[in-house]
Structure 1
Amino acid sequence: MEKFLVTGALGQIGTELVVRLREMYGEENVLPTDIRMPERGPMVGKSFEILDVTDKERVMEVVEAFQPDSILHLAALLSATAEENPELAWHINMGGLFNTIEAARIYGTQYFTPSSIGSFGPSTPKDNTPQHTLMRPTTMYGVNKVAGELLLDYYYTKFGLDTRSVRFPGLISFMQEPGGGTTDYAVEIYFDAIRKGEYTSFIDKGTYMDMMFMDDAIDAIIDLLHADPEKLKTRNAFNVSAMSIEPEMVAESIRKHIPDFKLNYDVDPVRQGIAESWPNSLDCSEAKEQWDFNPKYDLDKMTEVMLKNIKVKVTEQ
C-alpha cells in the first residue's frame, strides 16, 4: 500500500487532498502535516504531525519516522501575501521546498509540489500560453515558483529523483475559504452570493484568468502521481486549467441560480497588477497528451456545486 506525507495540509489544496487520499489508501497511509494542529474539519482527532518545513532537522525526522512513498509538498505563502513580505516568502517557499526535496532525495521518495500560473510574467504570451515559453515573473511568488520548477528539473536530472508538478490556475472550492491569493475573488464571490446576495470584487471587469474546480485539481495531482514515468517528457510543471474566466462571467453564472445577485468593484491595485501579469488562458495539450489530463467541470457545473454546498455550510455555521 502506498504511503503519502502531505505538508501544508490545512491549506486549500491540502484539506481536500488528504480527504481523498485517505478514502483511497486508508488513514494510516496518509500523514498530514502543518505548522498548527487542525481546530475543525476532517483532520480533527486523526493522525497529524506539527511540521515547520523551514526546520530541516524536523523535516528529516518526520520523513524518516513515517517512511512515505511520496512527499506532497504544499506548504507555501500565496501570491498576494508573498508580496506583502517577500523575505518571509523566500524563507518559507524556497527553504521549505529545498528541505522537503532533499528529504525525498535522501529517503528515495517520489516528490510532488505545485507550481502556478504565477510563474509566468508580463512578457509571456497571454493567450493559449505554451507549456515551454518565456518566464519572467515580476512577483516574489512567481520568482519562487520558477525557481522551484528549475529545482525539480535539477533533482530529476542530477539525482534521478521522481519529481512531478503542475502549474495550477486559480482553484475554486467550497470546503476551505481562501487566504492570500490573487484568484481568491473567484471563491469569495460564491460565499458572498449566498451570505449577502452581492460581492465587491478586488479584480477588475474583463480580467481573464485560468481557473479550476478543486475536484479536478485533486484528480490532476493523483493522476500525475500515478502516470507512467516513461511517458513524462516534462518534469518541472505541466500547464493545467479547466476554464478562462473574468468576474462578469462568474456573476452571470451565479444569476442563473440567484437572479438578483449584484457584482460591484473596488479594485485592489496590487492584486490587479499581479493578475495582469499572468496569462489569460493556458495551452494544456502537453498534460493531456502525456498523462490524459481531462477536467470534468465547466463554469456552470462548478457554480451549481459551489452554491449548493456553500448554502449548506453557511446554514450549519
Structure 2
Amino acid sequence: MSTRRNAVGSHPTDQPAGGTPHDAPASDGHGPDVPDLRLAGLAVAAWLAALAGLHLTAAAATALAAVAAVLAALVGAHLLGVLGRPAARFRRHGWIVVAVLVGVVCGASVTSARLVVRDAAPVRALVDERAPVTVELVLRDDPRPVRGAAGRPATLLVRADLDHLTARDGRRVAGPVRGLVLASHPAWRGLLPGQRVTAQGRLAAPRGGDLTAAVLTVTGPPTPHGSAPWLQRAAGTLRAGLQRACEPLPDEPGGLLPGLVVGDTSRLAPAVEADFRTTGMTHAIATVRR
C-alpha cells in the first residue's frame, strides 16, 4: 500500500496546484467576449448599396449589382481553387470580400427593382410636363402641417400611394407609385392613413434620394371613397383624445406630449422641434412620422 501511494505521489506534475488541468481551458488567443463580425461586411455593404442606388437610375443600380455579382463569383472561384491556388493571407480574408460583394448585389438589385417602378416612363412623362391630373390615392400617413411663407395659408404634407392618374388629355396611368401631396384646403386635415380619396392637382418632380415618384400640389378638397380602416380610426380617436387632454397645457409641453406618446407632432412648436433636431433626439418624437 505504501509503495502504491509513493508511486502515485511521485508524479507531482499530474495534479498541479490550484486545480486539475481541466480547470484552465486552452485559449486560442481570442477572449470569449469578442463579437462575431463575419456578416457585418455583408450588412453594411447592402445598406450602403441601397442608399447609393436611390441616387442612381435603375439601369445604373442594375449594372452595379451585375459587376458585384461577377466579382463575387471570381473571388469565390479563386478561393475554392478553381482559378489558381490562393495565397494564405487571401484565404484568411477572401470570404469577407465575397460577403461584402454579395451585400452589394442584394442592396443594389432590390433598390433597382423599386427604381423601375419609381421611374416608370408614363409617370415620368407626366411629371416632366408638370401636367394637371386627377389622382386616386391612398394615404400612407397622417397629414402634417409644414412651415410656409408668412401670410400664406398653411400647407399640409401628405404621404400617399398614387393608384391612378388621369391627365386632362385623357392619358391614364396606373400605379401604385409613392407620392407626396401638398394641400392647402382644411378638409385634408381630418383624413387618416389607409383612406382612399380622389384629388385634382398639378404634378412636379420630387427632390430625389428616396422612392417618391411625384409631388402633387392641390388647392381643393379631396373626395373620400369610404372611411379609413378600423384600426386607423381607433388610432385617430386615441390621438384626438390625447390632443384634447393636452389643450389646457402651454404650447410647448402641450405639443410635445402627444409627440412623445403617439408620435403626433401636429402641435409641436417649431422651437421645440429645432431643439430636438439639434440634440439628435428627433427619433423620440418620430414614431408615427415617416
Give the TM interval when normalised to the shorter protein: under 0.3
TM-score (norm 2): 0.25
TM-score (norm 1): 0.24
Higher relative contact order (CA 8 A, sep 6+): 1
Greater C-alpha radius of gyration? 2
